A = this chain, B = another copy of it.
Amino acid sequence: MQNIYDNVLIVGGGLIGSSIARACREFGAAKRVTIADTNADVRTALNGLNICDKVTDTANPSDADLVILAVPPGNISDIAAYVLPHMKKGATLTDVGSVKADVVEKITAILPKDINFIGGHPIAGTEQSGPEAGFAALFTDRWCILTTSDEDALAAQKLKQFWQAIGSRVTFMDAKHHDLVLATTSHLPHLIAYALVGTATDMETVTRGEVIKYSAGGFRDFTRIAASDPVMWRDVFLQNKDAVLDVLGRYIEDLTALKKAVRWGDGETLLKEFTKTRDIRTRIIDAGQDSAKPNFGRDISGDEEE
């Protein structure tokens, strides 16, 4: 039991918030964890799950040493404005949002000088949402990115220890750079998957039943990503507009080049492009960020391998 903080208040009891609570208990990272959620169904679920010390409807942060905002990106700065005046001196506020520059700018503008704010983003999650979808190992060996101008400050180091205590690897990064990196590794992939699933299910020449039956050829992978929480993802694209438009523009250029190669029957270009993408998979597996097993080792209806 390391108890990095005495009292932790998590605002928002969904997939991420409830997983942090579970991990705090599993790894002994906090003496006492409270979850605040305005949704009565979520509170009922949380009480049934018994994963924290207290469940409440209003976020009262007066006792909290750490307040974690685990709400959709679009609500983070509003809720920060609500809790900051009631936080105790020396306490730390953080969040788990997938876009950082917008939130950091807004919260920094209203931050009392005796409260610490450090933006946070655990690169972890699943396509599922809600308190029942969470689990204690969600952050194990995943990266958590913290954004602060002073990573040597005591508050930043303590928050780093907290994330490490619940299983994460921690790195510090500039908020703007974070948003560009994540636009590439997360936001663009989601936009692409949402668009593809939309295209495939709106064809007048191929039925939805056919798309479902023959999805094992590749399509099914995209439907997992396109099943992610729509509200959270809407907020991500509203907040990270510039970086997303930048990488999306590059992507459309690259896709158009492949389209041209298909149209002209340019097998040489296709082979070259398809060959150079193979190596990155090996490096992601070597870095411990994905399974080495074929098809992610997915297990369907009791079969051993696929």
Contact = CB atoms under 8 A, between A and B. Distances in A.
Interface of A: 98, 123-128, 133, 135, 137-138, 140-143, 145, 171, 180-182, 184-203, 205-206, 208, 210-228, 230-231, 233-235, 237-238, 241, 244-245, 247-248, 250-252, 254-256, 258-259, 261-263, 265, 267, 270-271, 273-278, 280-284, 287-291, 293-301, 303-306
A126 B216 contact: no
Given A182-B214, A244-B262, A296-B297, 8 more contacts: A125-B217, A135-B306, A182-B217, A185-B211, A215-B287, A215-B289, A226-B280, A234-B271
Contact of A301 (B127, B275, B284, B288): B288
A123 B306 contact: no
A224 B290 contact: yes
B216 A305 contact: no
A298 B298 contact: yes
Closest 8 CB pairs of A and B: A186-B217, A126-B294, A230-B274, A189-B218, A227-B281, A197-B277, A226-B277, A296-B298
A212 B137 contact: no
8 contacts: A180-B206, A195-B254, A197-B280, A215-B284, A223-B290, A226-B278, A252-B255, A293-B298
Contacts of A299: 291, 293, 297
Contacts of A280: 197, 201, 208, 211-212, 223, 226
Contacts of A125: 217
Contacts of A284: 212, 215, 220, 223
Nearest to A276: B198
A199 B228 CA distance: 23
A201 B126 contact: no
A214 to B, nearest CB: 5
Pick from A197, A211, A280, A283 the residue with the most CB of B within 10 Å: A280
B218 A221 contact: no
A194 B296 contact: no
Contact of A252 (B143, B228, B252, B287): B252
Nearest to A226: B277
A137 B305 CA distance: 7
B251 A126 contact: no
Given A141-B303, A215-B185, A255-B252, A194 B274 contact: yes
A35 B195 CA distance: 42
B258 A223 contact: no
Given A180-B206, A199-B247, A277-B201, A124 B306 contact: yes
